[in-house]
Amino acid sequence: MFLEPDELCVLTGRKLKSKQIQWLRGEGIPFRINALGHPVVTRATVESRKPEPAQRPAWSPRVMGAR
pLDDT in tens, 6-34: 999 999 999 999 999 999 999 999 999 99
Q: Is the dihedral of CA 21, 40, 30, 51 positive or negative?
A: positive
* Local structure of 2: helix, strand or coil: strand
With cut-offs at 50, 70 and 90, classify the pLDDT of residue 58: confident
Instruction: Please report whether residue 64 resides in a domain.
Output: no
pTM over 0.85: no
**Domain limits for position 43:** 5-48
Instruction: Please report whether residue 34 resides in a domain.
Output: yes
pLDDT at 38 over 70: yes
Determine the pLDDT at residue 34. Answer: 96
Instruction: Please report whether residue 61 resides in a domain.
Output: no
* Local structure of 65: helix, strand or coil: coil
Instruction: Please report whether residue 67 resides in a domain.
Output: no
Instruction: Please report whether residue 24 resides in a domain.
Output: yes
pLDDT at 51 over 70: no
